[in-house]
Amino acid sequence: MLIEMSHINKKYKKTMVLSDLNIQIEQGSISGIVGPNSVGKTTLLNIMSGLVMPDSGEVFFEDRPAADFKSLIGYVPQEIALYQDLSVKDNFRFFSGVYGLNKEKAKERMAYIYDIMALKDLHRIKIKNLSGGMKRRINIGVELLKDPKVLIMDESTVGIDMGARTDILDLVKKLNSEEMTVIFTSHHMSELESICTDLYFLKDGSVVLEGKKQVILGKDGEKRTLEHLYNEIYRVSE
Amino acid sequence: MIHIIILRIRMFLSKKIMLLLFVVFPLLFSFIALNYLKADDFEIKTTIGVVDSDQTDFSENVIERLRSDSSLMVFAFDENSGQEALIKEDIIGLYIIKEGFSQAIKTGKTQRIIEVRYLADNYTAPGITDLITPHFLMDILKEQTMLTVNKAVFTDNPELGEKFRELFLEYTVMYEDSEDLELQVILNSIDSDAEKPIFSTSKEIIIRYFLSVILIFLIITGFYQAIQVNVDKEHGIISRIKLSQCPYYQYVLGNILGIAMIVFIISVLQMLLLKNMLFYHLDFAKVILGLAIYALSISLLSVAIMAVLKKGSDFQTAIPYLMIAIWIFGGWIYSETVINTGMLQYLGRIPGMMIKDDLINQFTNVGQNIRRENIMMEIGFQFVLFCLIYLKGKSGYNKNVN
């Protein structure tokens, strides 16, 4: 297993967000974390990335404590965490410096990112002048500077049009084909269904259903859509 | 750390409005103000009180001459009311013409004929002596000339002596009215090791105010940049930095030094303009040292205040109003020359304020040094502030975020 989280508990003030959560992420998978708002998806991703410490429980990366592997994990936050007044190139230059990349490595990674994201013509443009979809792509691109083994994407397709979403999903598939493990959250069930290989349903602070997409959606001999399954799990309880 | 410093400078340069507001506008302000200050006819009125204890035509003549001076605003008092006006700071100095003034001058005794009173803590007040002396020096010189001529030439003929006196006074009065006698003060700098003022008292007040406004501009620049650091936190950029290999102390130090660099570079640009336009005597090495310490103090103070405030972006909209308010009121308070209340003494313990006077004195005096004790105090406060920022931020940095 690439990432293993066991018996994770996390509380914010009096609210229990994650309760005895166990999850295992397979190497080379595209894992979708499914659940409505406030179910603890972002908290789970924050703990996975090392940004937040759990109250109890353990996180392992390739069977070793995950805290030692921060540089191998790319975390794309929900917000556009970029300097809006700087150009695309200046943002990449800054973050490659912060991520401790030397000049050559930074140049090499930037060339790769420009190529994979088709950004070459945009590198002089300020972030604030780009479209929402393009901002989202660069938000992801910054994390690719690290050349991470795992890319954690927290609702990276929120607030953008269909075309831009398709571009991001294609990018995820492309990265996955280069053996990058991707952990993905989204409120669009169709997106998760189209790209994920594994699915994890969060409810009441723990995983209530997990497994390979084909197995989960084809359970009990009948093929269901993810949206149908989502409604079954969450609407019934409401 | 160097990436954070470069980032801060790049962020500053990337916004045209910042360049306009914090670089172009202050430089333009300085350029216009310096042209105004350079003009020979520039003068503000110094308010003085006069007590005429002599009550002669001679003393009245001196007072009239003082009143005709465009740089003075002269009020007549008796000694007690003059003293009260002085204490209330309605006047900057009280000029007392002693009884027997005219008689003393006529007989060639010029000691203790006038008295100038001023408040002990008003260090600019002694300068008014420079303003008023020429007005009675004329009488002293005239009388001395007549005494000498009468003694040397007309000792045996007092009638002829009296005739000479009448003619002499008539012609000197005419000469006084002529434009040729206009007193001109050249304000160019002079090489000297002595700690002596370069400008007239009234001009120095305006210069100190002007320099204070420039320093306040630098403070606002520092604060605005510190707000940008808080904006990082709100936009999730801090999460990325937390997950990077950049240690927390480097992030803090990078921001502090980045802001200090911006403030310092702008201040150096200002100094180049000031030196080339009016303050030719400036010792650049001393000024640069003072400005570097000042910039670092301002940066630390700004970051410390912003570390306490949760949402930096809320204050962005307030900045233009704050600037206008500070422009109008702050300069006068900061210069301390015009308003001097007890409350303001506490401001002297704020980082940046300890070295501020030494910096301003570089412009108004020749041969002044930046005092070592002030440098040490600034550095001490800088260290304390850095510790506070570090500890405050470190706890937040380790805190869990949702």
pLDDT tens for each residue of B282-310: 788 888 888 999 999 888 888 887 777 66
pLDDT at B183: 43
Residue B307 distance to chain A (closest CA, Å): 20
Contacts with B198 (C-beta within 8 Å, 6 or more apart), sequence order: B187, B189, B190, B281, B364, B365, B366
Q: What percent of chain B has pLDDT over 70?
A: 73
Q: Strands B46-52 and B72-77: what pairing?
A: parallel
Residues B93-135 have pLDDT tens digits of 888 888 888 888 777 776 677 787 877 766 666 666 776 777 7
DSSP secondary structure letters along B170-235: HHHHHHHHSGGG-----------SS-EE-S-HHHHHHHHHHHHHHHHHHHHHHHHHHHHHHHHHHT
Cα(A76)–Cα(B240) distance, integer angstroms: 8
Reply yes or no on whether the pLDDT at B327 is more than 70.
no
Tokens (6 digits) for B316: 């962005």
Residues B27-73 have pLDDT tens digits of 998 888 888 877 655 555 677 888 888 888 888 888 888 887 767 77
What's the Cα-to-Cα distance from B135 to each of A11, B140, B169, B183, rounded to whole Å?
83, 10, 16, 10
Q: Which amino acid is at A94?
A: F
Q: Using CB atoms, which residue from A10, A79, A90 is nearest to B236?
A: A79
Mean pLDDT score of chain B: 75
Reply yes or no on whether the pLDDT at B84 is more than 60.
yes
Q: Using CB atoms, which residue from B14, B240, B402 is nearest to A95?
A: B240
Q: Using CB atoms, which residue from A53, A85, A98 is nearest to B244?
A: A98
> CB distance from A77 to chain B under 8 Å?
yes
B327 secondary structure, DSSP code: I
pLDDT tier at B181, thresholds 50, 70, 90? very low
Please judge whether A51 and B239 are an interchain contact, meaning their C-beta atoms are less than 8 angstroms apart: yes
pLDDT at B339: 44
Which chain A residue's Cα is nearest to B7?
Answer: A94
Window A:24-63, CB contacts with B under 8 Å: 42-43, 46, 49-53
Residues B260-283 have pLDDT tens digits of 999 999 999 988 888 888 777 778
pLDDT at B198: 59
pLDDT at B292: 92
pLDDT tens-place values along chain A, 238 residues long: 678 888 888 888 888 888 888 888 888 888 888 888 888 888 888 888 888 888 888 888 887 776 667 778 888 888 888 888 888 999 999 888 888 888 899 899 888 888 888 877 888 889 889 888 888 889 989 989 888 889 998 888 878 888 888 888 888 888 888 888 999 888 888 888 888 888 888 888 888 888 888 888 876 656 778 788 778 777 755 5
pLDDT at B266: 92
Residue B239 distance to chain A (closest CA, Å): 7
Window A:110-139, CB contacts with B under 8 Å: 126
pLDDT at B261: 92
Cα(B336)–Cα(B355) distance, integer angstroms: 14
Provide the H-helix boundaries in A57-202: 88-98, 103-117, 132-144, 162-177, 189-195
Q: Which amino acid is at B214?
A: I
Cα(B395)–Cα(B243) distance, integer angstroms: 16
Please judge whether B242 and A78 are an interchain contact, meaning their C-beta atoms are less than 8 angstroms apart: no
Please judge whether B243 and A51 are an interchain contact, meaning their C-beta atoms are less than 8 angstroms apart: yes
Q: Which residue has the higher pLDDT, A15 or B197?
A: A15
Average pLDDT over residues B176-198: 47
Backbone angles phi, psi at A92, to 5 degrees: -60, -40
Cα(A172)–Cα(A195) distance, integer angstroms: 8
Chain A residues lying within 8 Å of B2, measured CB to CB: 97
Please judge whether B236 and A77 are an interchain contact, meaning their C-beta atoms are less than 8 angstroms apart: yes
Query: Considering the entire predicted model, what is its pTM?
Result: 0.67
Please judge whether A77 and B239 are an interchain contact, meaning their C-beta atoms are less than 8 angstroms apart: yes
